[in-house]
Amino acid sequence: MPNRVKSLLDGNKAWVRNTNRMIPDFFEQLAAEQTPTFLWIGCSDSRVPATEITGALPGSIFVQRNIANLVVHTDSNLLSVVYYAVKHLHVSHIIVCGHYGCGGVKAAMSNQSFGFLNNWLVHLKDVYRLHHDELEAIDDEETRCNRFVELNIQEQVNNLSMVSFIQEEWANGEFPYIHGWVYGLDSGIIKDLNLTVNDSKHLDGVYRYKKMMPVGG
């Protein structure tokens, strides 16, 4: 087996030994069930792993990651994860966490073609178009990119708020809260963008659903 792959399996064995030493019944407990409090929607970037950067243990964060942490309403993978997290696991918090220096965001800002990836990046270009005036007014490219990262998180928090089964949860109670965060690759620090919502009041009226009538009602 190539050494690099073997190093992962060796790393796993060392991690199990360590964890068993620190928390003797850790695996027995986790094997029984998962009761995560959080759903994490983050970037696939290898430098932004949800549990490590938050010091959280396995079992606490349900995770969905894709390039540039997008919430696309035709992405049945993401929507299934969100649906399960909200309707079955009853997570209290959904965190959309982007990161400065995001390659996907940089790519979407450029006019370069990335082949098949363009079809994914077009969702980011839509965000750019929505905030065109603000972004174009920023001369420095890195500053503009960082602002684009933040605005993208804002739009993904909005996209989640538009999901009807999340609005259904809000109509029935307090949860889930949706938060927008951004991670600094160079500092390791997460910044809360203070975008937290648990209702759809911030959305344009056309995106707000009435309670669904019961079937046959």
- DSSP for 5-23 reads HHHHHHHHHHHHHHHHHHS
Q: What angle do CA 56, 69, 98 make, to 5 degrees?
A: 65
Cα–Cα distance measured from residue 152 to residue 42, given in angstroms and rounded to the nearest whole number: 12
Cα–Cα distance measured from residue 25 to residue 202, given in angstroms and rounded to the nearest whole number: 44
Stretch that binds Co ion, among 36-44, 117-125, 161-169, 197-205 (CB under 5 A): 36-44
Cα–Cα distance measured from residue 25 to residue 140, given in angstroms and rounded to the nearest whole number: 52
Our answer to whether residue 179 is catalytic in this structure is no
Q: Which helix (H) or strand (E) holds 158?
A: helix 141-161
Q: What angle do CA 23, 24, 28 make, to 5 degrees?
A: 105
85 binds Co ion (CB under 5 A): no
What track of x and - describes contact with Co ion for positions 41 through 60 (by CB under 5 A)? Answer: --x-x---------------
Our answer to whether residue 199 is catalytic in this structure is no
Distance of CA 95 to the CA centre of its chain: 6
Least distance (Å) from Co ion to the CB of residue 48? 7
| Position among 71, 86, 97, 102 found at the interface with Co ion (CB under 5 A) | 102
Is the Cβ of residue 102 or residue 153 nearer to Co ion in the bound state? 102
Q: Which two tokens stand for residue 71?
A: 């919430």
Catalytic residue among 97, 102, 123, 179: 102
Size of the site for Co ion (CB under 5 A): 3
Our answer to whether residue 43 is catalytic in this structure is yes
Stretch that binds Co ion, among 57-65, 102-110, 179-187, 209-217 (CB under 5 A): 102-110
Catalytic residue among 10, 17, 47, 199: 47
Our answer to whether residue 102 is catalytic in this structure is yes
- Residues lying near Co ion in the complex (CB under 5 A): 43, 45, 102
Which of the residues are catalytic?
Answer: 43, 45, 47, 99, 102
